[in-house]
Structure 1
Amino acid sequence: MAAIELANASWRDAGEAITRGAWAVLPVGALEQHGYHLPLTVDTDLATGVARGIADALGALLLPAIAYGDAWNNSGFLGTISLKPDTLRAIVLDIGRELKRMGVPVLVTLNGHFGNKEPISLAARALESEGLKVIHLDYPGLEALAAKICDSQPAGPGFFHADEVETSMMLALRPDSVRMEKAVAEYPTFPPTFGIEPMQLSEFNQSGVFGDPCPSTADKGRRLIDGIVAACLAQIEAYRIRHRL
């Protein structure tokens, strides 16, 4: 069962899907730097690719992605455009309320950017209180998948940015946008207070890469995407069982 992509659907297509009880899947990305070799849209591209796999499996409505996020910590790199957390929370809230108005029973958000986690979670809490069921997912199982599939080491535990993981996924989804000849490895030294105070990544990183993108391949990217989709579907099934949907 294929997804119903709202970017290409008519209102009648959407209405028929909603009438039969289709859920909605919303990718949430960002516009931020990803080194010299990747486009600013990486987080949105990857979230959309994973969300499409989820929506295909569910026969769900695939919403156009939110293409901006809370990317404040990358603001030191030109080209990055960040939303305030409250702005992103409000956008997810408004989209969720519109879906509820139309009769969509469940919203699944697929987050492709770390800084979006809290705004999405807070929006989900509010939407639940208003009667819309929300499942918010963040690439479950990625650390274990990366350890199994990739050849390079991450720059930090669970820290994947413009590295082999993201570059491989982009080679699988948008190979035309990847410039491997410009790829460089960088393993910066994280300040001792990283994670306990607001901090710009450009203070201790020159290229914008965290790790080594050079061993990236499209095959690794497809395996990573398939593994993330499978883990997402397992979490969705657990939600279905818990809520008897």
Structure 2
Amino acid sequence: MSGSGKRSASGLVPADTTEDVRTRGAGVSRQVAVLPVGSFEQHGPFLPLATDTLVACAVARAIAEAYPVHLLPPVTISCSHEHAAWPGTVSISSVTLHAVIRDIADSLRRSGVEALVVVNGHGGNYVLGNVVQESSARGERMALFPAAEDWETARERAGVTTSLLTDMHAGEIETSILLHTHPEMLRPGYETSDFVADDRRHLLSLGMSAYTDSGVIGRPSLGSAEKGKELLSSLSDSFAAYLSVLGAE
């Protein structure tokens, strides 16, 4: 399966016209929409507040370049309550995010797109798993990507040193992806901002500020553009299995 090569994006926004979508709609029942979901939250002193959105969009764009999917613009604010102690962080409730995803899926089905893959860039969006489970129980075609296993495969393939546990926030993976896709967005300092806090058992009760002063948990100094490129390539390859599950091969 391969992309058409004709789609492009302006920043975070897909550049499709309605005619582009119509042309791809010959097998409309087999179409799959891809929705990046990011966040607007602190990522330490060197990564932008929009990091999770940039990462989700990078993953979604890699997918759209490899497969004939319907790429949607991102949801840019989500459930970042664990980061509320830092200026700039903005959140919506889990109820609101649940409703937004449901409304988007319903709208897509009315236009003939029966399957939706949510590409999640923020680990705190726990409710997305509930949305997918509930939708699947109703017989709808929905998936959440990437799974932890997909990230682990990508981590190993890219030669990422830190584990997924240690690389929790603004660490090696996120820094690598932005060094590859948006190097102009990084501020100086990631090379000297490593901070490890593997025991975060009370995170939901106490928030991130109980475990880090800088907002960083991970080892961003190990990030590289080469790792970022390989991470995205691996995730794109892993996406093929999701098309199979959704019956859209």
TM-score bracket relative to the smaller structure: 0.7 to 0.9
Aligned to 1:17: 24
1:101 aligns with 2:110: yes
Aligned to 1:8: 15
Question: 2:4, 2:83 → 1: CA distance?
Answer: 36
Question: 1:37, 1:47 → 2: CA distance?
Answer: 18
Matched residue of 1:20: which SS? helix
Q: What are the superposed Cα offsets for residues 40-79 of structure 1, whole Å, 9 maximum, x if unpaired?
A: 1111111111111222222111000111111111111111
**Kindly, what percent of the aligned residue pairs are identical?**
28
Provide the aligned C-alpha RMSD in A: 2.4
Superposition TM-score, scaled by structure 2 size: 0.85
1:149 aligns with 2:151: no
1:70 to 60, 70, 79: 79
1:190 to 186, 194, 199: 199
Q: Is the 8 A contact 2:157 2:230 kept in 1?
A: no
Aligned to 1:221: 228
Matched residue of 1:210: which SS? coil
Question: 1:151, 1:101 → 2: CA distance?
Answer: 42
Question: 1:88, 1:77 → 2: CA distance?
Answer: 21
1:163 to 162, 171, 176: 171
Question: 1:130, 1:41 → 2: CA distance?
Answer: 33
Aligned to 2:212: 205
Matched residue of 1:98: which SS? helix
Shift of 1:111: 0.8
Structure 1 residues 157 and 215 mapped into 2: Cα distance closer, same or farther (>3 Å)?
A: closer
Shift of 1:223: 0.8
1:29 to 27, 34, 38: 38
Question: 1:158, 1:227 → 2: CA distance?
Answer: 20
Shift of 1:185: 1.2
Q: Is the 8 A contact 2:38 2:53 kept in 1?
A: yes
Q: What are the superposed Cα offsets for residues 193-219 of structure 1, whole Å, 9 maximum, x if unpaired?
A: 435x52210122111111211121101
Structure 1 residues 95 and 207 mapped into 2: Cα distance closer, same or farther (>3 Å)?
A: same
Structure 1 residues 219 and 86 mapped into 2: Cα distance closer, same or farther (>3 Å)?
A: same
Aligned residues: 238
Matched residue of 1:171: which SS? helix
Structure 1 residues 149 and 20 mapped into 2: Cα distance closer, same or farther (>3 Å)?
A: closer
Structure 1 residues 232 and 187 mapped into 2: Cα distance closer, same or farther (>3 Å)?
A: same
Question: 2:4, 2:86 → 1: CA distance?
Answer: 38
Superposition TM-score, scaled by structure 1 size: 0.86
Structure 1 residues 121 and 215 mapped into 2: Cα distance closer, same or farther (>3 Å)?
A: closer
Question: 1:214, 1:28 → 2: CA distance?
Answer: 26
Q: What are the superposed Cα offsets for residues 14-34 of structure 1, whole Å, 9 maximum, x if unpaired?
A: 223234323211111111111
Note the 1:86-125 alignment, pairs <5 A. Answer: 86-116=95-125, 118-125=126-133
Structure 1 residues 149 and 182 mapped into 2: Cα distance closer, same or farther (>3 Å)?
A: closer
